[in-house]
Amino acid sequence: MTFSLRFRAAIVSIALFLAFIGIWHIATRGTGTVAHMTPEYARLMGLTATQGKSAMPGPFDVGAKLWQHLKRPFYDNGPNDKGLGIQLGYSIARVGLGYLLAVIVAIPLGFLIGMSPLINRALDPFIQILKPISPLAWMPLALYTIKDSGLSAIFVIFICSVWPMLLNTAFGVAAARKEWINVARTLEVGTVRRAFTVILPAAAPTILTGMRISIGIAWLVIVAAEMLVGGTGIGYFVWNEWNNLSITNVIIAILLIGVVGMLLDQILARFTAMVTFPE
């Protein structure tokens, strides 16, 4: 009796998951009462101190809390306490805006670099120096010059997602098959038309790969940026719960960040599949 590969993989996944939860549960069990305390004193202390409860929450604590959050994802208790749905919305909006700006800048510029060896050589030193800079290193400079923390966060997203797209576009454009361009030239196709009808389809898979890398980086960076800037967003949520030393909520946020990141990646993966052509 053999099951399909998919089915067997699912079984292994579930087994791994259960093992993980089990180990987690055992590792975070309480150690019993640690010290003798008078009841008055115990009332002033937390469970960690009185019952020897582990500072790390167990899987069931996290599950219960997660259920609470999922039941009310869009509550709004004022500027500093909003539901997880709203926080994620803010983060996605920031990423979307910064990312869109990056697309608008990177793809035309990438085309230019890919098509003109002169511009390629001229811009190369700048790109090489700016590319490896950690996006968060731009944060103080952005805050100082833009003078607006929301825009600064968007700028940081822009700056981190622009490089992979730019380089991939340039590479994709430059790598368009010489034969195809020559054919276009023989048929006396103009430069603009050639760019859109020949080079763009040829470079599209590479460009989209760049975009897929970029969205991943942008989503990584937004959490850190929001932790720095505060106000709203899932990064702020992590920071706010960290302030309260609520590891349970931090774990939930980590989980959700992972899920949203995966979804964003999957969306771009679909697009990539759509434009890919067999050689």
Partner 1 sequence: MSTFDDPFGAGRELSRSGCACGQHRSVAEHDQAALTLRCEPVPTDEEHYQGVVASAVMRAMFPKDAARRAFLKSVGASTALAAISQFFPIKTATEVFAEGGMPEKKDLKVGFIPITCATPIIMAAPLGFYAKHGLNVEVVKTAGWAVIRDKTINKEYDAAHMLAPMPIAISLGLGANAIPFTVPAIENINGQGITLAMKHKDKRDPRDWKGMKFAIPFDYSMHNYLLRYYLAEHGLDPDTDVQLRSVPPPEMVANLRADNIDGFLAPDNICQRAIYDGVGFLHMLSKEIWDGHPCCTFAASREFITGSRNSFAALTRAIVDATAYASKAENRKQIAEAIAPANYINAPVTVLEQVLTGTYADGLGGIKTDARRVDFDPFPWQSFAVWMLTQMKRWGQIKGDVDYKSVAEQVYLATDTRKVMPGDGADPAGFIQVVLGDGQDLRSRQARGLSQQLQDQEGVVTVANSVSSPLPACGERSDCARRRAIRARGNLYIPRLSRQPLTATLSERALLVSTPQAGRGR
Which residues of the chain form contacts with partner 1 (CB under 8 A)? Answer: 34-35, 37-38, 40-41, 43-46, 48-49, 55, 77-81, 143-144, 147-149, 227-231, 236, 239-245
> Shortest gap between Cβ of 147 and partner 1 (angstroms)?
4
How many CB atoms are located within 10 Å of the residue 155 CB?
23
> Shortest gap between Cβ of 148 and partner 1 (angstroms)?
7
What residues does 82 pair with on adjacent strands? 76
**35 or 130, CB closer to partner 1?**
35
Q: What SS3 state is found at 180?
A: helix
**37 or 127, CB closer to partner 1?**
37
Backbone angles phi, psi at 76, to 5 degrees: -140, 105
- Cα–Cα distances in Å, from 199 out to 103, 106, 112, 170, 261? 17, 16, 12, 11, 30
Angle at 239 between CA 237 and CA 241, to 5 degrees: 70
**20 or 75, CB closer to partner 1?**
75
What residues does 76 pair with on adjacent strands? 82
> Shortest gap between Cβ of 80 and partner 1 (angstroms)?
4
Residues sharing a CB contact under 8 Å with residue 266, sequence separation 6 or more, in sequence order: none
Place of tokens 């002033």: 44
> Shortest gap between Cβ of 160 and partner 1 (angstroms)?
19
**49 or 105, CB closer to partner 1?**
49
How many CB atoms are located within 10 Å of the residue 66 CB?
17
**103 or 224, CB closer to partner 1?**
224
**52 or 216, CB closer to partner 1?**
52
> Shortest gap between Cβ of 60 and partner 1 (angstroms)?
20
What does DSSP assign to residue 177?
Answer: -
**44 or 187, CB closer to partner 1?**
44
> Shortest gap between Cβ of 86 and partner 1 (angstroms)?
13
> Shortest gap between Cβ of 247 and partner 1 (angstroms)?
9
Q: What SS3 state is found at 60?
A: helix
Rounded Cα distance, 142 and 162, in Å: 16
